[in-house]
Amino acid sequence: MTLVFETIPHPRPLDAGSRSAALENPGFGKHFTDHMVTIRWNSEAGWHDARVEARRPFEIDPAASVLHYAQEIFEGMKAYRGADGRILLFRPEENARRFNLSAERMAMPQLPEDIFLEAVKRLVDVDRDWVPGNGGSLYLRPFMFSDEAFLGVRPASSYVFCVIASPAGAYFRNGDDAIRLWVTPDYTRAAPGGTGAAKCGGNYAGSLLAQRQAIARECDQVLFLDAVEGRWVEELGGMNIFFVFDDGRLITPPLRGTILPGITRDSIMTIARERGLTVSEAPVSFDQWQADAASGSLTEAFACGTAAVIAGIGSVLSPGGQFAVGDGKTGPVTTALRDELTALQRGDRPDRHGWVQACS
């Protein structure tokens, strides 16, 4: 399918001084680039009206179904400035593919993968001065929502696809320090048959009360256990999880429809196997995690995702008490995997997997 993108450059982009100040210490999700890409879909015309234009508020009908029934999905990916000046995307076709899996689950239209990729690349190209150097990246947020004004409960007949971008540094406030998790006894994230494997806004809305509990306990992220037995470790509010053992095993919970199939998770499994670790996708109970951490056979644990990259887990708090993982600091296996992953993402290692795409 071909779609012609109309480009209407921002008449007053942010001045270079203010942009440099924003890029200096961007944090996460606080600053936004000058442009956005939008494409519309309706049941008569299909995908149409593709634009690269100044980032601005949407005008939306108060009856737009997304505001009532949350028909919304999103992606998270990053553009990196390589040492040779090229701007690189990491496995962007996987985001395009997952976007359509999320769309299918939420009864939304499929966006051809080449159009998803073109939209992302056009935004990075027009806002290329916003890609930080020095270990930062430009976080890209493609998303789609229903905008039909209709209050009946059924899939909407019109949607907006949009991509915005935000310069990003460390996701967690303490930078590279190991994070602290809160294991919620009260709330679950996803049940079998639910939407846990889709990247839909509703999953995150449902996680916020547990995340608030985590923050109140000075924890960085909430850890969710499975909804059926309340026993098996699933994932964090916005990241997948891995466990490292002293005999060279690396374990991550299996994807069974309740966990987001992370692209970082998948990349780490490949990198870890290449480094000689024995990687498996296997259930880990919370009790076993505690016992193995206490015996010392489980030496490290880490969280991973596009925003967080790879973050060591130092301690875990639950209503039963707190325990440390290893010595409470980011461990050597976690650090080695993080270094390898970020080197691949930035083009500092040969791209032996075909994971990296130059933007333009």
Which parts of this chain interact with ligand COI (CB under 6 A)? 76, 238, 305-307
Residue 205: how many CA atoms within 13 Å on its side-chain side?
10
Give the shortest CB-135-to-ligand COI separation in angstroms. Answer: 17
Distance CA 225, CA 183 (A): 8
Q: Which option in ligand COI, ligand PLP, none does residue 138 bind, with CB closer than 5 to 8 A by kind? A: none
Pairing mode of beta strands 233-236, 278-281: unpaired
341 binds ligand PLP (CB under 6 A): no
Residue 199, token pair as written in the block:
């990247």
CB closer to ligand PLP, 264 vs 345: 264
Q: CB-wise, 13 or 76, nearer to ligand PLP?
A: 76
In whole angstroms, the minimum distance from the beta carbon of 239 to ligand COI comes to 7
Residue 235 makes contact with ligand PLP by CB under 6 A: yes
The one-letter amino acid at 49: D
Q: Which of 76, 169, 314, 347 binds ligand PLP (CB under 6 A)?
A: 76
Extract the runs of DSSP E, i.e. beta strands, from the chain. Answer: 5-7, 35-42, 46-54, 72-74, 77-81, 87-90, 137-146, 158-168, 179-183, 221-225, 233-236, 240-245, 249-252, 278-281, 298-305, 309-318, 321-324, 356-358
Cβ neighbours of 113 (radius 10 Å): 16
Tell me whether residue 102 or residue 306 sits nearer to ligand COI (CB atom).
306
Residue reference for tokens 């690189």 = 88
CB-nearer residue toward ligand COI: 13 or 206: 206
Measured from each CB, the residue nearest to ligand COI is 76
User: Which residue from 134, 282, 257, 142 is spatially nearest to 194, judged by alpha carbons?
Assistant: 257
As measured in angstroms, the least distance from the Cβ of 76 to ligand COI is 2
> How many residues bind to ligand PLP according to rule CB under 6 A?
12
Q: In this chain, which of 26, 92, 132, 305 binds ligand PLP, going by CB under 6 A?
A: 305
Tokens of 204: 């995150």
Q: Which does 314 bind (CB under 5 to 8 A by kind): ligand COI, ligand PLP, none?
A: none
Nearer to ligand COI, 51 or 189 (CB): 189
Residue span 238-277 as binding mask against ligand PLP, x where in contact by CB under 6 A, dash where not? xxx-------------------x-xxxx------------
Token pair listed for 22? 């924003």
Beta carbons of 224 and 204 less than 8 angstroms apart: no
> Would strands 298-305 and 240-245 be described as parallel, antiparallel, or unpaired?
antiparallel
Place of tokens 């179904």: 65
The one of ligand PLP, ligand COI, none whose footprint includes residue 235, by CB under 5 to 8 A per kind, is ligand PLP
**Distance separating alpha carbons of residues 79 and 34, to the nearest angstrom:** 16
Pairing state between β 240-245 and 249-252: antiparallel
Binding site partner of 330, from ligand PLP, ligand COI, none, Cβ cut-off 5-8 A by kind: none
Kindly write out the interface string for residues 17-56 of this chain, putting x where it contacts ligand PLP by CB under 6 A and - elsewhere.
----------------------------------------
* Residue number with CB closer to ligand PLP (47 or 139): 139
- Of 102 and 158, nearer to ligand PLP (C-beta) is 102
**Whole-number Å distance between alpha carbons of 92 and 113:** 10
308/325 with CB nearer ligand PLP: 308
Contact between 222 and ligand PLP by CB under 6 A: the answer reads no
Q: Which helix (H) or strand (E) holds 22?
A: helix 16-24
Which of 293/309 has CB closer to ligand COI? 309
Is 206 a binding residue for ligand PLP by CB under 6 A? The answer is no
Parallel, antiparallel or unpaired: strands 87-90 and 356-358: antiparallel
State the residues that interact with ligand PLP by CB under 6 A.
76, 235, 238-240, 260, 262-265, 305-306
